[in-house]
Structure 1
Amino acid sequence: MPRLRCEHKKTHPTKEDIHSTRKVSTMKRPPGLKLYPALLSSQDIHNILQRPELPQSRPECPQLFRLFGDFGGKEASTPSPWMLEWGTRLQEQGFFSTTPNQYRLCDWIGDLSAQFKWHIDNKRHGKEILVISLTDQRRIGFRPPTGRGYYSVELNAGDAYLMRGASRWQWEHCVLPSGQSRSGGKSFILSAH
């Protein structure tokens, strides 16, 4: 079974789609969207998940994400050395034209995850956004400018996708919560502007 599973839908995701665990077929993806299965090793993932910078969500105090770096005046913490190391390494490998200066650690939990509807990331996040899944079975949807249909990909821990070009500026995307807890999973996001 392939690690990355993709599909193209002609309608918007239904409740059944969001909770589905069925296999899906590989279809043409949005222009500029690149998929990287197993970009990070299981040891890399384990090391990141042990970091104190991860959101510390509790039912009484949910925290979806933490920001590190330059977010154009939005309050953010200073990136940790390990984040900068990953940014430099990925830039040297050609994932970015410049070294990333924004880092986000996300935990898309429960109903809060479902509140992040279809959107295009703010311009302050730059022209290249790399999202690395830290957990298995994360489903991400992409919808064309027409708003008709959508393309989705399921990522496992270590898999990544890079948005640039049309997939970054014209296609909307969203986390498709899945499973009984409606979790969107955990991710490490790097971007450069």
Structure 2
Amino acid sequence: MPDDLFGPAIPGLAIAPDLVGRDEERQLIQAIDAAPLEPFRFQGWTGKRLTASYGWRYDFDDRKFAETEPLPAWLLPVRDRAAAVAGLAPHELPHALLIRYDPDAGIGWHRDRPVFEQVVGISLGAADTMRFRRRAGTRFERHMLTLEPRSAYLLSGPARWEWEHSITPADRTRWSITFRSLRR
């Protein structure tokens, strides 16, 4: 189902269109491509998307959460704006995940790891679809959201904890920056 006329239909889901400008988007894409991206690994399986983590890192192979390299300076201005979307101070988003989705790469149904609280994602490059589902009896309630280039989304409250989400594979390259707060 599409969003209603008044915004996202899921409590805790917010959208911030045009969080970054076109020139900044190009610079962010160049910086992501220059980062030490590696294929995503999940319990021995290798995904199609390329990722790099800063601040904190969750290793899906050994199921451990640990500090890693600090956020690079080029991420700090966009983190400031992501924090404002979430109503947080910038230091409350100590984790950044960079992702490059080449054509046909997506993410299956999941909920972010429980060590994280609020999630702010920034979409760059191509538009894509974020799908949401939650169990309602023997069926799933579903919603879809178009992730426009340069926009941000916030997952908090019910959108974060009651709904799973996935990203559909696209036919063009898309990049994202995901900032997360830590659960207290």
* Same fold? TM cut 0.5: yes
Give the corresponding residue for 1:123: 114
Equivalence map 1:130-149=2 (5 Å) = 130-146=120-136, 148-149=140-141
State whether residues 64 and 112 of structure 1, in contact with CA within 8 Å, keep that contact through their aligned partners in structure 2. Answer: no
State whether residues 3 and 143 of structure 2, in contact with CA within 8 Å, keep that contact through their aligned partners in structure 1. Answer: no
Q: Which runs of 4+ in 1 moved over 4 A?
A: none
SS of equivalent residue, structure 1 residue 145: strand
- Quickly say closer, same or farther: Cα 1:159–1:101, change in 2 above 3 A: same
Give how far 1:105 is off: 0.7
Does residue 1:30 correspond to 2:10, yes or no?
Answer: yes
State whether residues 96 and 128 of structure 1, in contact with CA within 8 Å, keep that contact through their aligned partners in structure 2. Answer: no
Give the corresponding residue for 1:67: 53
Report how many residues are paired.
Answer: 160
- Quickly say closer, same or farther: Cα 1:41–1:168, change in 2 above 3 A: same
Q: TM-score, normalised by structure 2?
A: 0.75
Give how far 1:71 is off: 3.1
For residues 119 and 85 of structure 2, the distance between their equivalents in structure 1, rounded to whole angstroms, comes to: 13
Percent of aligned pairs with the same residue?
21
Instruction: Describe the superposition over 1:81-130 as per-residue Cα deviations: whole angstroms up to 9, x where unpaired.
Output: 12233323443x352424210001101234552xx321110012x21110
Gaps of 5+ in 1: 1-7, 9-24
Equivalence map 1:181-192=2 (5 Å) = 185-192=174-181
The structure where strand makes up a greater share of residues is 2
Gaps of 5+ in 2: 40-46, 59-64
What is the RMSD of the two structures over their aligned residues, measured on CA atoms? 2.6
SS of equivalent residue, structure 2 residue 170: coil
Instruction: Describe the superposition over 1:53-105 as per-residue Cα deviations: whole angstroms up to 9, x where unpaired.
Output: 27377xxx9652111112363474331012233323443x3524242100011
